[in-house]
Structure 1
Amino acid sequence: MGLSWQQGPLATGAIGRFLTPDPLPERLLYAEPLRRRMRVKFGGTWIADSEDVVLLHEPGRYPVAYFPLGDIAADALEASENTTTHRDLGLTSWYSTVAGGSSKPRSAWQHIALPDYAGDLKGRVAFAWRAMDAFYEEDERVVGHAADSYHRIDIRQTSRHLAVRDGDRIIADTTRPLALYESGFAPRWYVPRADVDETALTLVEGQTFCPYKGLASYYDIAGARGAAWSYADAWTEVRRISGMVSFEPDKVEVYLDGARLRLEPGQGVISHGVDRDLTVEEFSGRQHDE
């Protein structure tokens, strides 16, 4: 997912490689200007508003937005005695966030002893995503994590023959699937409902959300748990897959032009990051705000 997460080029599980004569360092951090206006709300109050955000891509983590101190409300940060040491960026000082009668300890941090090569982060503070009320780009809420500009989704109509079987039972058969190509993932194939035997799908409790596609529901197929999923109301950018069904090729038999698909590198989604969870509650909050 993007530059440093999932199978991206800076991720620990990258599926590609840099064509260089000498091996690269085991860990590469990448910082760049976001070039988008980003705002942070806490305690019902805007505490940060900046067009000078720097986005840090760190292997195995979602992108993190760093705000210049000058673009943060003067009374929003309360210094604490808590410090930690980042393996690459050195000593880190932690703050409580205070605004609108609310206070959250250890909810913001600043690297205060940066090595020379990491000067892009000097004088900047990052906020813990889930500790804040919300993050916005312009007037639209961003959920899950800071948007990764290297994460892309392309959807293509195709006339290839896609068939899904559970033993002798045909679950889906179509010549009009949509192919969804997403950065860092193997292709996913979405089937129109009209070409699916919906009596074979058993809706199960529990949903997840994707910061780029929306809220997903899951289905069992006979004894195969979570073998299919659907975005009933996919977000505007990927609206074409709304209501369509996709199938896990390691849980049911999925055939594309007669060849059986197998689970490929990049198809096993890591739904939770090492630094935070992605929860349906966040998605619900975005819906409420809009």
Structure 2
Amino acid sequence: MKPVGHSEAVPRRIRAYRGGQLVLDTLGARYVWEKEYYPAYYIPEGDVRAGAPEPQTTQDGLLRFAWRDMDSWFEEDEEVFVHPRDPYHRVDALRSSRPVRVEHDGVLLAESAAPVMVFETGLPTRYYLERTSVHWDKLTASDTETACPYKGVTSGYWSVAGGPADIAWAYDFPLAAVHPIAGLVCFYNEKVQLTVG
């Protein structure tokens, strides 16, 4: 983590679209840590085009736009979700043969001997399991959708019937860096009893 106020050059091309129009395109963006956990993009004023919204912040010829004011953001040709990716944040998705058992109030929800373990800076290890190892009769689909700058947009969430909401999720089409989790289901460690061998 970088301290609040830290700034450095972004080595990637940054683009944003609004209303179907390219409104900024730059090779000169800067990361500025306004919050402890991730940076913001600051864009040179000369790289902003007509149709861009009003910036939230201006500083030494650089502009920061509200993420939500753009329809989409890109680093090179890869879409970025929620906020800029922290270049010092790491996410590894590793296949494992460690047995994983997931229960809620003594009811078995899933059991697998072939999880994909996701190790992400600052978060607990997450265990993604094959759909065939999940006891679907114990879960109900929900309409929840979330996005992560490191994994992508979720394709499904599930709740325990009569229990906690949104206890499990999946990314059917995750970002390339975590491709091994594609189509697998993960349960919130904090909402279940998780046993890992």
- The TM tier, using the shorter chain, reads 0.7 to 0.9
In structure 2, the residue matched to 1:137 is 75
Unaligned runs of 5+ in 2: none
Which one of the candidate residues 25, 31, 55 is aligned to 1:49? 25
Distance in 2 between residues matched to 1:61 and 1:249, nearest whole Å:
21
In structure 2, the residue matched to 1:218 is 157
For normalisation by structure 2, the TM-score amounts to 0.85
Which one of the candidate residues 26, 41, 57 is aligned to 1:109? 57
Mapping for residues 168-183 of structure 1, pairs under 5 Å: 168-183=106-121
**1:105-128: CA deviations, max 9, x gaps?**
x434313xxxxxxxxxx2222222
Secondary structure, aligned partner of 2:177: helix
In structure 1, the residue matched to 2:42 is 66
Which one of the candidate residues 251, 254, 261 is aligned to 2:191? 251
Give yes or no for contact 1:161–1:173 (8 Å, CA) kept in 2. yes
Which one of the candidate residues 115, 124, 128 is aligned to 1:190? 128
Give yes or no for contact 1:224–1:252 (8 Å, CA) kept in 2. no
Secondary structure, aligned partner of 2:172: coil
The CA RMSD over aligned residues, in Å, is 2.3
AA partner of residue 35 (structure 1): P
For normalisation by structure 1, the TM-score amounts to 0.60
In structure 2, the residue matched to 1:20 is none
The worse-fitting range, judged by mean Cα deviation, of 61-70 and 33-42 is 61-70
Mapping for residues 83-98 of structure 1, pairs under 5 Å: none
Give yes or no for contact 2:16–2:72 (8 Å, CA) kept in 1. yes
Give yes or no for contact 2:84–2:149 (8 Å, CA) kept in 1. no
Q: C-alpha displacement at 1:168, in angstroms?
A: 3.8
Secondary structure, aligned partner of 1:239: helix
Distance in 1 between residues matched to 2:105 and 2:78, nearest whole Å:
46
Are residues 230 and 49 of structure 1, via their aligned partners in 2, closer, same or farther at CA, if it must alter by over 3 Å? Answer: closer
In structure 2, the residue matched to 1:238 is 178
Q: C-alpha displacement at 1:61, in angstroms?
A: 6.2
AA partner of residue 224 (structure 1): P
Q: C-alpha displacement at 1:164, in angstroms?
A: 1.3
Percent of residue pairs bearing the same amino acid type = 33
Unaligned runs of 5+ in 1: 5-9, 11-27, 77-98, 112-121, 258-290
In structure 2, the residue matched to 1:199 is 137
**Number of matched residues?**
195
The worse-fitting range, judged by mean Cα deviation, of 48-57 and 35-44 is 35-44
